[in-house]
A and B are shown apart, each in its own frame.
Chain A
Amino acid sequence: MNFLWWRRKQQERELDEEVRRHIEMAAKERVERGEDKREAERAARREFGNVGLVKEVTRDVWGRRWLRDLAADAHYGLRILLKNPGFTIVAILSLALGIGATTAVFSVVYGVLVNPYPYANSDRMVHLAVHDNAGNRRFVNLNGPQLQQLRQARSVESAAAMDGWNLTTTEGDLPEDVQAVYFTSNAFNFFGVPMLMGRGLLPSDAPEGQDPENVAVLGYQFWQRHCNGDPGIVGKKIQLVRKNYEIVGVVRPRFTWGDADVYLPLKLTADPVRTFFIMTRLKPGVSRAAANAELQSLFEQFAQQTPSHFPEHFRVTLEGLNDQFVTRIGGTLFLLLAAVTLLLLIGCGNVSILLLARATGRQHEMAVRSAIGAERSRILRQLLTEALMLSFTGAVVGVTLANSLVKLIVNWLPEFSFPHEASISINLPVLYFSVGLALLTGIVFGISPALQSARPDVAQVMQSTTRKMTAGLHGRRTHSVLIAGQIALTLLLLAGAGVAMQGFVRMMRVDLGYDPHNTMSVGIPVHDNTYTTWEARRTYFNQLLQKVAAMPEVVSAGLSTNATPPSSGWEQRFEISGKPAAEQQRARINFISSEYFSVLHIPLLQGRFWDATETMHGSKLALINQTLARQYFPNGDAIGSEIRVPQMKGEPPFALAVPGSDSWFQVIGIVGDSRNNGLRDPTKPAVYVPYTIRMPVWTQILVRTRVPPLTVLRAVREQIHTVDPDQQSIRDVRDLNGWITAQQEWQQGHLVATLFAGFAILALALAATGLYSVISYTVAQRTGEFGIRMALGAGRKDVLLMVFRSAAMSVAGGVLTGVVLTITLNRMLARWIQGSSLDALVLAGVILLLVATSGLSCLIPARRASSVDPIVALRYE
């Protein structure tokens, strides 16, 4: 490049000299013929023609002219931009904010929706899902023989099976919970992701009909956390529930299937009762509909073999890996993308305004350039180069900003609403996007000012002095439209933010019906083949509860299998004795000890609680919540009635139930409503029964403490340890506030409200800057006019009013357009910002804020105008 540059200079010098010699020789000849020396020189020059132009067309022969022009334009542009640092900084910041925010949100969209999985051909991987008659979606699991049949299906390329269990380390001082995923030996091949270290599971690890080898593949996070990222881990042993496994490999960071800590070989049995989660990949070119149709008949066959594993009537609806996440977060992300696009547009509007204002100042320059032979396209190119320099600098700053914003958004993303495989960062495709964005924005904001100033009316500009009494009508109209557009978009964004914030605040203020403070739930998974009788498990759970309840830091403790609010219970159909059972009569069934209500401060409204003895006996007693009582016992005759949950049966050795658990239960009391279906949706009818009625391989202890509960977590774990030295509790223990903020609607509301508010504030600042620049510029341009008016007797107030009036039109137009836009888009907004819709108060507040801000940004230039000294103004050049 350097060499080329040097050569180009050399060529340039030679051409200069050649032309000079030419003219010299021609002049000399004329002198020799007897002409006057000066006359001869002039004639020679005239005869030669336009030196610059001759050079120009000659240079064309050299080629790469565009590069030369670009370099010249860039050089000149840089000088211009550096000469006006204020303008440049405002322009670059306006763009950087827009491009940065857009890039950040796009990188999340790209990471979560476009390219979330590292697995081979993940677009053809599906979950086996069916819809029942009521429209509920369910995943179906298959047993071993069914899996073999599925693999034979025409539309299926391959399939693998998995199972999950909580294991524990049995080497350290306290047992640590380990999430184990058992894979059929073809699974690693199925996923097609290279290993970080060592190898994946092989067919030889799980020979057919034999117990699998004791080998383990570690998850990346677990390897980091438990083994401190030991690079020599392969070949070492790990003890899980007193069994030694040889570590054969470590998976890559993005391989997070099942969020597992370890992957172990699965023993695929022919036992028809044992079912597994199935991972399926379709053959290329097979449509989802075709696969659904083929599997429909296959699954109907399966349903005849194992009726309890399928709904009575169903329709196969295979689901792509990302489908559920698209439904959960897709709308939110596109809403944010729309918001940042608005921000970007407002930023572009700002730069357009600034450029336009400056273009008017540069009219003279353009006219001169045109007069000495610059083509229109050449001027246009120069101006576009300047615009692109701005937008690319903006993009660079923006990408830097985006980097931090992405981290923020990732932290705030609802944790179970995006695939954990997703790698959300500023990567190459995202950078392409930003560059494209910079190009596009450069053209969008640069083209209109450039078009305008590339068509200077030479004669008019050259004749007039640089001094003008009034601004051109055309420039003013463009400004008004831009300002109005900015205001309209800002109003839309502000209204969106207002709605989102209102919705989120409403959610935070919701009446929970329970007291989440100083309470945590400690999850306890039971090991395979332990406490396999009803009595043993009941006694074990009770022992755990008593140990924890006796701790000095603990105020009270209760057992709840499945009842940690705000989303609790097992939704089932129930029947009321003596009343016809409606098909859709459903309630949330909660398995608890009677202390549950005192721990959570849920009031008893009528009747009584069951006591400890009744718990230990597994008495068939039930409490219902107020919603159920109101809905199904409007006459207040709930107490003493009987209800029954037909599906409430044991499944030994996993779930152990008292005999007759699916028979009639006596209702002995009514408790206050507490949230059981999230923070947004109304509380569902709920039934509470003693936990001893049905005990799965899992329980939770709810603990109310005197101190922040997580500080006593270790002590609680030690107490559990004294009952069973191999008993771990889950790693992810949170207090009840933590479970509230873990709710998807809370996190989504938080994300949308915070980001929207942030973007709206930025938009407001940008719009204010835009307005301020336009008004200041107009005021500066009209200084002469104001001077004359004041000399003729206009007061300061009149001038002040004149400035405000000029702004008021565009602001009012913008507000009006914005309100119309907001109301039009309201329905869309309400769908995406769930549970919220625009109300008049928010809209009024937003308008007020916008008008006040606009007023403020006019005030400073307006005061400047009104304090003009007429004498100075008239002399002003």
Chain B
Amino acid sequence: MAEKRARYQNRIELLQGTLDLLILQTLQWGAQHGYGISVAIRNRSGETLQVDTGSLYPALYRLEKQKWIKAEWKTSENNQRAKFYRLTATGKKQLSKERSRWAQLSAAIAGVLNPFER
């Protein structure tokens, strides 16, 4: 059991920056609940990225603590109460920052992986 817990924690660490970016990006298209976010990420990544709930919820609470997203209880389209998260103004700024950092990072990694294409 202890190992399982460690696995969760490892994954959070591994994905930390990236997961935050993905969540913020997902919320740019509108407020969404936790399940919705995980489905959206899965679908948009072509089923490649499976967001673990053990990473998703801590990340949501962390982002909320940073005031990048805000949570509200709302009734969804099919008449169900759910906790919706939406992007705040600072969250938007953070998103653009993270996007550019990601762009830099992936360019850099691409550069390292394909040194002759430059």
Contacts and interface: CB of A to CB of B under 8 A. Distances in A.
Interface in B1-46: 1-2, 4-5, 8-9, 12, 33-36, 39
Interface string A371-395: 1111110000000000000000000
Interface in B51-101: 52-54, 57-58, 61-62, 65, 73, 80-83
Contact of B53 (A29, A49, A372): A49
Contact of A14 (B4, B9, B83): B83
A50 B57 CA distance: 13
A455 B52 CA distance: 31
B81 A21 contact: yes
A24 B34 contact: no
Interface stretch (A57-65, A205-213, A649-657, A722-730): A57-65
A24 B58 contact: no
Contact of B80 (A21, A61, A375): A21
A237 B98 CA distance: 88
A19 B8 CA distance: 17
A54 interface: yes
A53 interface: yes
Residue from B8, B9, B57 with most neighbouring chain A CB atoms (10 Å): B57
A62 B60 CA distance: 11
A123 interface: no
A57 B83 contact: no
A54 B59 CA distance: 11
A61 B65 contact: yes
A18 B36 CA distance: 12
A64 B77 CA distance: 37
A17 B71 CA distance: 14
Chain A interface residue number, banded: 20 to 34
Given A53-B54, A61-B61, A25 B82 contact: yes
Given A57-B8, A57-B12, A62-B61, A22 B34 contact: yes
B2 A48 contact: no
A26 interface: yes
A49 B54 contact: yes
Given A49-B53, A53-B54, A18 B83 contact: yes
A61 B56 CA distance: 12
A54 B54 contact: yes
A54 to B, nearest CB: 5
B62 to A, nearest CB: 5
A61 B62 contact: yes
A375 B73 CA distance: 34
Contacts of B65: 61
A53 B8 contact: yes
B85 to A, nearest CB: 10
Contacts of B33: 18, 21-22, 25
A53 B58 contact: no
Nearest to A24: B80
A62 B57 CA distance: 12
B35 A21 contact: yes
Given A18-B83, A21-B35, A53 B61 contact: no
A19 B5 CA distance: 18
B83 A48 contact: no
Contact of B4 (A22, A29, A53, A374): A53
B2 A375 contact: yes
Contact of A54 (B35, B57, B80): B57
Nearest to B64: A61
A22 B54 contact: no
Nearest to B6: A375
A690 B57 CA distance: 102
A50 B4 contact: yes
B31 to A, nearest CB: 14
A21 B5 contact: no
Contacts of B4: 50, 53, 373
A61 B58 contact: yes
Given A21-B82, A25-B35, A57-B8, A48 B58 contact: no
Contacts of B62: 61
Contacts of A22: 33-35, 53
Interface in A2-19: 14-15, 17-19
A806 to B, nearest CB: 38
Contacts of A373: 1-2, 4-5
Contacts of B34: 18, 22
A72 to B, nearest CB: 17
Max count, chain B CB within 10 A of own CB: residue among A24, A25, A53, A370: A25
Nearest to B36: A25
Given A22-B35, A49-B52, A372 B81 contact: no
Contacts of A53: 4-5, 8, 54
A54 B1 CA distance: 13
Contacts of A18: 33-34, 57, 82-83
B96 to A, nearest CB: 24
Contacts of A26: 35
Contacts of B58: 57-58, 60-61
Contacts of A24: 80
Contacts of B8: 53, 57
A28 B98 CA distance: 34
Nearest to A60: B58
Contacts of B82: 18, 21, 25
Contacts of A371: 1
B32 to A, nearest CB: 11
B12 to A, nearest CB: 7
Nearest to B12: A57
Contacts of A372: 1
Contacts of B52: 49
Contacts of A19: 57
A58 B35 contact: no
B83 to A, nearest CB: 5
Contacts of B81: 17, 21
Most buried by A among B12, B53, B82: B53
A104 B71 CA distance: 57
Contacts of A49: 52-54
A14 B57 CA distance: 12
A58 B1 contact: no
Contacts of B83: 14, 17-18, 21
A26 to B, nearest CB: 6
Interface in A201-224: none
Interface of A: 14-15, 17-19, 21-22, 24-26, 29, 48-50, 53-54, 56-58, 60-62, 370-376
Given A26-B35, A58-B61, A373-B4, 11 more contacts: A14-B73, A15-B57, A17-B83, A18-B34, A25-B35, A25-B80, A53-B5, A57-B8, A57-B58, A58-B57, A371-B1
16 contacts: A15-B57, A17-B81, A18-B33, A21-B35, A21-B82, A21-B83, A25-B33, A26-B35, A29-B39, A50-B54, A58-B58, A61-B58, A371-B1, A373-B1, A373-B4, A374-B1
User: Which 8 pairs show the lowest CB-CB distances between chains A and B?
Assistant: A373-B1, A61-B61, A58-B57, A22-B35, A25-B35, A54-B54, A18-B83, A61-B58
